[in-house]
Every structure is written in structure tokens, then in C-alpha cells.
Amino acid sequence: MADTLPSEFDVIVIGTGLPESIIAAACSRSGRRVLHVDSRSYYGGNWASFSFSGLLSWLKEHQENSDIENDSPVWQDQILENEEAIALSRKDKTIQHVEVFCYASQDLHEDVEEAGALQKNHALVTSANSTEAADSSFLPMEDESLSTMNCEMLTEQTPSSDPENALEVNGAEVTGEKENHCDDKTCVPSTSAKDVSENVPIAEDTTEQPKKNRITYSQIIKEGRRFNIDLVSKLLYSRGLLIDLLIKSNVSRYAEFKNITRILAFREGRVEQVPCSRADVFNSKQLTMVEKRMLMKFLTFCMEYEKYPDEYKGYEDITFYEYLKTQKLTPNLQYIVLHSIAMTSETASSTIDGLKATRNFLHCLGRYGNTPFLFPLYGQGELPQCFCRMCAVFGGIYCLRHSVQCLVVDKESRKCKAIIDQFGQRIISEHFLVEDSYFSENMCSRVQYRQISRAVLITDRSVLKTDSDQQISILTVPAEEPGMFAVRVIELCSSTMTCMKGTYLVHLTCTSSKTAREDLEPVVQKLFIPYTEMEIENEQVEKPRILWALYFNMRDSSDISRSCYKDLPSNVYVCSGPDCGLGNDNAVKQFMSQELPLLMLRSVVK
């Protein structure tokens, strides 16, 4: 119960996203008393991952949240004469323009349901024959309790003897399903007592599914716990800041990872694989021998470009795309370097930024596999939970479904001195970290937010079919029109523990210029087709078929100066939500930010 909470802490963290969780773990490990609260019923905020039924619950919760009215504050009586209150928002306005489509057969006669899932409701989705997108007002409204996503504890493992590479990269599928549990009000991660066999890697049955296999919506519901659907789509650079932090802090023992198996390119209406390593380049049939030598020479230069300033001096003020035109590279090689290695667009990066991105890509090659990227099993949402677990191990206290009504500020010092929670309890602290979405419109009135366009697709096959059906791919689709942005596509197979066998989970991401559907649907139409009964019989269909689709816009609150927040107390520190970048460096940089006091700057490593 809330009245059992201590009345004083060293640090209070509001929000369980990745930046907040990293900082909470650091503070707890350095011996500080940490209270970590979240008004949501799950860990991770906009960094979370959901099962299929959990995602439906999230959609329902999002609709109900939009109907919340801020009641007159009942905590005003607790504010003293020398104090003032900064009210926090009860509404989460970070998600907008939610549209859901179901193309899989909706067989009403199949009485199949995932344990704990919402009842199947056709109001939730727009069918393949409908021309109008499902509005959030059409989401299911059953009075069913939401399943809580909490940080499930894995059995502790002995750290690797090699601290520099002590990261478990899994090459086989792990059987078993994760159970998510949490107490009604106060949640402290604890080791799960699940069957040991769930942690034993077992070779996956890679038997190819029959070509005419019919996947229904009922099947997706039935296998819903096989899905772990990320709200934000990211990968980990194998030598990035987050990987280094995971290893040095020993948090990596709480998670497993898989290597991204291939990098793809989209050219002239076709998807093709891009050679990454030296061996791939020389074995590639897409490049001529002359092109192979050109490419290797240029990539060798990029690895140590700072040693040869004359090679790029005078080009700093032009785009990386224009710079590539000045090099001895064919148009084919320019395209590969720009979109599949530097992973930028014609107008997005300067010459220096492009060279840095190319060097970073090459620097990460070979550490854990044939590509620079890793993906966490069970989804991106595992990462905040791993750091929450470390915080809890060192004494941090966790409360989900626990909202904070206001921050209490001393009028004279202009410092925050306490919070008042939903039960009216005043909790004192020295430092406060607040995720951006908790601030009211008044406090954020000067903030100019960007938006991220997101789409999540469940498909029946890969965008590039090969002998193996267990491929994890990343593809960048260039923008076709000025003012638009390149779209990043990440395709996950069932061995990542994010989707059921026989399906793929596809994430599309770009910086928003319109609604998510308007931004991303043109790319979806290039790569996929809707799933219809007629096409099941057509074995000549080459494109993957969409079984289910979700579009939404997410707020990008990264890189906002604290001066933009109105009347922000000096000891209240703001953590942003996910940015649009591929990696997680922005989250780690918030932990390392010089704006934080020495307390927060202490490494989680002793």
C-alpha cells in the first residue's frame, strides 16, 4: 500500500523509460535511496514491448486516457504558504493518429482466445474491404482488466570471463513464454520461478510453411503471447554507448541478443542484399570487380578519414550525397554507401556526419557477427526492465499504476522539495527526474516537439526470400519527394521471440511530415500487399502479404533544452522519450549529461 512507502528518498524518478531506468540504476547502485514510479501499468513508457493482447490493451488504454479530464486538485490543502505546486498531467499526449487495419480472415466461428486477451472485437480494426481507417474511438471498450507488463526476472547467470565482450548473443531460438506480473500498487522486480526448460536454447524447427497456409485473426489472437511488439523500433550498434554500458554495468546478464543477419537496399522496385564485410564484398555478384576495389578503397579511407583531411577539406559545407559524387564511385556504390552503410539520405547529412556514420558502421562490424547491429530477444522493451531490475536489486522501490499529482516547490529557493502522490502522501527528496510526457501543457507551452511516424505490420513472409526463413533484416527506403524523409524498415523473424512462427513482424519508422499512415503507406504499398483469400491460391505473388497493421505518431522530445520548460526547478531533470534515430545513444547521453549533478554522473560500474 502507498502508506507503507517511506516519506523520504534521495532520488525520485517519474517514468520508467530507458533514460530514467538507466539513471535510476546508477543512483541505486551508488547507494542512493531511489523511488521509481510510473502511472502506467507497465514498464518502459514509450520504450515498452507488448504481446498482441497487451498491444490491444494499450490501444484501449490510450483511448480511455484521451477521455480523462483533469479534476480539480484535491492536494491544494497540503501546499503551505511558502510553497507552490507544479501540477503534473494525467493525460499521455505522446501518441496520436492511431489507425488499425486487419487483413487476415476474421473467422467468427473459431472460439479461440489468448489467455488474458481482450475479446475479439471487430470495432478494433478496419477490415481489408473498408476504405476508412479505424479511429481511436472505435477501440474495444470491454471492462476487462489490463494485463501488467512488468520486468520479469531471469535466473542470474555467471558473468563472462571476458568483460569486453561479455554479451550473450543467441544463435538459437529460446522456447517458452514470458510471464508478466506485478502487484496492484507496488512492484519490485523479483526472480521469476518459471520452469528451467524455458531458458534452454533449442534448435528451431525451420520447416517451411505450406505455401497455401491460411493465417486467420483467431490464430494471431491464440498465439498472441508469441508476439513482443515494440512501440519504438531500434537496434543496438555492437560498439555503441548502450552496449558498452550493458557490459560494464553487468546488466547484460539480464538479457540475450541476436545479430542482425542482413542489410537490404531498395532499388528500382526490388529488394536486394547489400554486402557488408570484406568477404561479402568480394563474394557479391551485384558488384563488378572494379566496383569491389573502388568500394574497399573508399571504406578503408572512411575508417581513418581524420588522418587525411585533404581528402574532405573544402567539402564540409555540402551534403554527404554531393561529396560521394566527387569520389571515384559508381552510382551503384554511391547508393549503397549513402542508404545502406551511412544510413542517411540525400539531404539529411553533411559530409562530416556521413563520414562519421560510415566509420561507425565499419567500426561495429565483426564484433558479434557479420553486421554491426544487435537486437534484444523479446524486444526493445527488455532494456528498460533490465536496468529497473538492477535498481531493485540495490534497494530501489518500484510502484506502477502510481501517479504523482504535483511537484512541491519552495518559493524562496525555487527548488523542488517533495511530490504529492495519488493518495495524498507527501514524499520528500533531494533530486527529481521526470519523463517529459508527465509535464502539463502550461509547462511545455514553449516547447516545439517533433513527431515520429510509426507502423507495425504482421506479414506472412519476408521482403526478400532466401533458403532460411529466420532472417533479421534492416532496409532503408529513400524518400521520393522533397520534404519527405527516408523510411527505416526492420523485419524480425520468429527466432527473435517477437512473433509467431510463419509470420514476420515489420517495423517502419521515419520523421513525421504528415500523419503516420500518410508518411508510411506509400512505402508499405511498394513492399507489401494486403492479405486476401483470393491471393492465397495465387502462388505467383512475390510480395509479402499484410495480415494486420497499426499506424501511429509518437512524440519526439529529444534534444530539447531545459530552458524551454516554463519555471522548471533547478533540481528537476527532464528525460526525453524515444528519438527517431536507429540507435540508443541519445538515451545513454542523457545519463552522461553534464546538466546532471555528480550524484547522477556516477557510473553504474564500481
Query: How far is it, in rounded angstroms, from Cα 161 to Cα 144?
Result: 47
66: confidence class by pLDDT, cuts 50, 70, 90:
low
pLDDT at 229: 98
Average pLDDT over residues 123-134: 42
Give the confidence band of 22 by pLDDT, cuts at 50, 70, 90: very high
Beta strands (DSSP E) in 105-256 are 126-127, 229-230, 236-237
Query: Which pLDDT value is given to residue 579?
Result: 95
* Domain 236-257+274-374 CATH (choose: 1.10.3720.10, 3.60.150.10, 1.10.405.10, 3.90.170.10): 1.10.405.10
Beta bridge partners of 266: 271
pLDDT at 458: 97
pLDDT at 536: 53
E runs forming strands in 422-537: 426-435, 450-459, 473-477, 487-492, 504-511, 529-530
As a whole number, mean pLDDT of residues 126-146 equals 37
Please tell me the predicted confidence (pLDDT) of residue 281: 81
CA dist., res. 185 & res. 398, Å (int): 9
CATH of 8-93+378-449+557-605, one of 3.40.50.620, 3.50.50.60, 3.40.190.10, 2.70.210.12: 3.50.50.60
Is pLDDT at 224 greater than 50 in this prediction? Answer: yes
Instruction: Give the pLDDT score at 535.
Output: 53
Mean per-residue pLDDT, 332-357:
90
CB burial of 205-239 (b: ≥16 within 10 Å; e: otherwise) equals eeeeeeeeeebebbbbbbbbbbbbbbbbbbbbbbe
Instruction: Choose between 61 and 405: higher pLDDT.
Output: 405
Segment 477-502, tens digit of pLDDT: 998 877 789 999 999 999 999 999 99
The band of 597, judged by pLDDT with boundaries at 50, 70 and 90, is low
- Residue whose cell numbers read 510502484: 399
The rounded distance, in Å, linking the Cα atoms of 277 and 371 is: 8
Residue 259 vs residues 172, 361, 372, 473: alpha-carbon distances, Å: 11, 14, 8, 10
The winner for highest mean pLDDT among 67-76, 163-172, 349-358 is 349-358
More reliable by pLDDT, 455 or 160? 455
For residue 541, the model assigns a pLDDT of: 64
Which range scores top for mean pLDDT: 178-187, 203-212, 580-589?
580-589
| Residue 534, pLDDT score | 55
What are the grid coordinates assigned to 597, written together?
549533478
pLDDT in tens, 544-596: 999 999 999 999 999 898 899 998 999 999 999 999 999 999 999 888 874 55
CA-to-CA dists, residue 589 to 363, 439, 560, 584, angstroms: 20, 21, 13, 9
Domain coordinates of the chain in residue numbers? 8-93+378-449+557-605, 236-257+274-374
Q: Is the pLDDT of residue 147 over 50?
A: no
Cell of 96: 496520436
Residues 6+ apart with CB under 8 A from 242: 236, 383, 583, 584, 585, 587, 588
Please name every residue paired with 373 in a beta bridge, in sequence order, or none if there are none.
237
> Nearest Cα to 549, choosing from 223, 234, 99?
99
Q: Hey, CA dihedral for 104, 106, 111, 115, is it positive or negative?
A: positive
| Averaged pLDDT score across all residues of the chain | 81
> Is residue 118 predicted with pLDDT exceeding 50?
no
CA end-to-end span of the chain, whole Å? 34
pLDDT at 468: 81
DSSP 4: G
pLDDT computed for residue 141 by the predictor = 35
Q: Which of 451, 498, 447 is nearest to 472 (CA)?
A: 498
Q: For the chain, what percentages of helix, strand and coil (3-state, to nearest 5) are there?
A: 30, 20, 50
Query: Does residue 177 register a pLDDT over 50?
Result: no
Residue 537: what pLDDT?
54
Query: With contact defined as beta carbons under 8 Å apart, do 42 and 149 qualify?
Result: yes
Mean pLDDT lowest for which of 225-229, 307-311, 536-540? 536-540
The pLDDT of residue 1 is 44
Is 13's pLDDT higher than 70? yes
pLDDT on residue 213: 65
**CA atoms 72, 76, 82, 84: torsion sign:** negative
Domains 8-93+378-449+557-605 and 236-257+274-374 share a fold: no
Q: How confident is the model at residue 366 (pLDDT cuts 50, 70, 90)?
A: confident
